[in-house]
């Protein structure tokens, strides 16, 4: 695995990782099935009437009825109606088990115009234990002749995230432990992603001792630009990133399934080993999500995911950590564990690679010196802390009986030994 295509974000992160954590596949455009809240967010009759529009749309999606689906759009908006038909066609194979639509605010824009802020919720069959959600803004017009409300526009809220099915017809491939949803990718490529995912899932179960769903949902968009649109971020942030995981930290029973989003350009440059490591790394984030919190430093969440990914692979430390190995041989031994900002996707690629590799070797040090059970216990103890301050220090003391200074010194010696640097003088 070379350093040119890194893998992605862990749950509960910061910066670019925080943007990804908000995505969770963004949501279904005009997800139907209205459920108005107990307190009307706008004039009661208007809320009920707009809710009825969305109820009709719900029935159209359940029946896969393009005419009924498009009929909710303004008859004068021929382009919008055509787009709605295409969207329903794009959704044809997506296994949706539920979807709801809740109006959070309805604002009059005149006697016959309104804007609705809505919460979209949906579930992917067999994967989402709770609904995935996204917020949308709908523009509506009341026709003076028939008195009905019609859709005139639909756009994302301030996050600006797109939906996979807005990008084209979704092709679905089911594996033993996987569901792959792709747009614009050859079927053989999606089948290979499913096979690699099916191999990665048991590897993750072998590396993480706690129960987790044991399956993965993978999205494969057409381009890195489409990937970035799903994440609501600039494409430049992800050009060298092979995959990312969108996730919510906390109770897995209250959160939808995590989505692993593949960057087809970067992922496609990797050999089979690299692709396997990438997906195992990302799926480790899925498994560890409930134990990953705001107290977890990025070096630990990313380092543990790398440790799990390389655990069953026959690679030397220098092969798996080429950037850091080169730095150590040049005499540029890091003075401290990687900081969160070292993991910024839009930064220096070599610095990013060294950060991942340093986190991996830190977790490897714990597993080698104290044992894998202590590594799991350390990960859990850090995540259980109330905040970032003191989390690592306390876990080092209580789980490993060491201090930050002692651990850093051990880690630096570990780098010298594993990466072929000169011994300390």
Q: Which one, of 261, 263, 60, 87, lies nearest residue 167 by Cα?
A: 87
Residue 423 predicted with pLDDT over 60: no
Instruction: Tell me which H or E stretch contains 153.
Output: strand 149-156
CA distances from 357 to 82, 276, 293 (A): 49, 17, 21
> Which pLDDT score, from 0 to 100, does residue 251 have?
55
Q: Is the pLDDT of residue 266 over 50?
A: yes
Instruction: Read off the pLDDT of each residue in 206-221 and give the average, rounded to a whole number.
Output: 96
Please give the pLDDT value at position 38.
41
Residue 25 pLDDT class (50, 70, 90 cuts): very low
CB 120 within 8 A of CB 133: yes
What pLDDT score does 255 carry? 67
- Residues of the chain with pLDDT > 70, as a percent, come to 86
Comparing C-alpha atoms, which of 350, 290, 295, 304 is closest to residue 324? 350
Residue range 247-267: average pLDDT?
Answer: 78
Q: What is the pLDDT of residues 57-72, one digit of tens each?
A: 877 877 788 889 899 9
Average pLDDT over residues 299-310: 97
193 phi-psi bin (left φ>0, alpha ψ -120 to 50, beta other): alpha
Q: What percentage of the chain carries pLDDT values higher than 90? A: 64
- What is the value of pTM for the model shown? 0.85
Backbone region of residue 331 per phi and psi (left: phi > 0; alpha: psi in -120 to 50; beta: other values): left
Which of 137-151, 161-175, 234-248, 370-384 reaches the highest mean pLDDT? Answer: 370-384
Strand-strand pairing, 178-183 and 216-220: parallel
Residues 6+ apart with CB under 8 A from 154: 29, 30, 136, 137, 138, 139
Write down all domains in the chain, each with its CATH number in brackets: 1-24+162-290 (3.30.2010.30), 44-160 (3.10.450.50), 293-425 (1.10.390)
- In terms of Cβ atoms closer than 10 Å to its own Cβ (0-12, 13-18, 19+), residue 210 is exposed
Q: Give the least confident one: 61-70, 282-291, 313-322, 363-372.
A: 61-70
Across 55-59, 234-238, 365-369, the highest mean pLDDT is recorded for: 365-369
**pLDDT class for 17, splitting at 50, 70, 90?**
very low
H-state helical runs in 213-263: 224-231
Q: What is the mean pLDDT of residues 123-129?
A: 91
Cα–Cα distance list, 198 to 235, 257, 269, 282, 403 (Å): 28, 16, 20, 13, 39
Is the Cβ–Cβ distance between 41 and 47 less than 8 Å? yes
pLDDT at 3 over 60: no
Of residues 87 and 176, the one with the higher pLDDT is: 176
Backbone angles phi and psi of 69, in degrees to 5: -65, -45
């Amino acid at each position: 695995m070379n350093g040119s295509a890194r893998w992605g974000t862990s749950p509960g992160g910061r910066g670019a990782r925080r943007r990804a954590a908000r995505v969770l596949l963004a949501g279904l455009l005009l997800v139907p099935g209205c459920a108005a809240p107990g307190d009307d967010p706008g004039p009661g009759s208007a809320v009920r009437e707009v809710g009825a529009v969305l109820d009709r749309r719900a029935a159209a999606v359940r029946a896969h009825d393009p005419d009924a689906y498009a009929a909710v759009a303004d008859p004068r908006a021929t382009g919008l109606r055509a787009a709605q038909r295409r969207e329903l066609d794009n959704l044809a194979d997506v296994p949706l088990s539920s979807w709801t639509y809740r109006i959070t605010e309805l604002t009059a824009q005149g006697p016959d115009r309104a804007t609705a802020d809505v919460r979209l919720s949906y579930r992917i069959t067999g994967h989402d234990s709770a609904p995935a959600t996204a917020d949308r803004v709908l523009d509506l017009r009341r026709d003076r002749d028939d008195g009905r409300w019609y859709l005139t526009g639909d756009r994302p809220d301030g996050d600006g995230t797109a939906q996979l099915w807005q990008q084209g017809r979704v092709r679905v491939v089911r594996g033993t432990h996987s569901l792959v949803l792709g747009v614009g990718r050859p079927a053989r490529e999606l089948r290979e992603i499913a096979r690699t995912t099916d191999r990665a899932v048991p590897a993750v179960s072998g590396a993480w001792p706690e129960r987790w769903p044991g399956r993965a949902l993978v999205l494969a968009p057409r381009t890195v630009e489409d990937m970035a649109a799903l994440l609501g971020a600039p494409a430049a942030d992800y050009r060298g990133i092979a995959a990312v995981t969108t996730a919510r930290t906390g109770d897995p029973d209250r959160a939808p399934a995590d989505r692993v989003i593949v960057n087809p350009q970067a992922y496609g440059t990797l050999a089979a080993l690299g692709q396997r490591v990438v997906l195992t790394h990302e799926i480790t984030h899925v498994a560890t999500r409930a134990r990953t919190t705001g107290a977890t430093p990025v070096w630990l969440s990313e380092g543990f995911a790398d440790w799990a990914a390389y655990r069953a692979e026959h690679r030397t430390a220098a092969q798996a950590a080429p950037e850091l190995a080169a730095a150590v041989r040049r005499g540029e031994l890091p003075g401290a564990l990687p900081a969160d900002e070292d993991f910024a996707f839009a930064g220096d690629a070599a610095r990013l690679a060294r950060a991942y590799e340093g986190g991996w070797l830190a977790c490897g040090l714990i597993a080698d010196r104290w044992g894998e059970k202590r590594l799991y216990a350390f990960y859990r103890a850090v995540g259980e802390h109330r905040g970032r301050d003191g989390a690592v220090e306390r876990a080092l003391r209580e789980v490993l009986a060491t201090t930050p200074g002692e651990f850093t010194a051990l880690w630096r010696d570990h780098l010298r030994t594993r990466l072929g640097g000169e011994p300390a003088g």
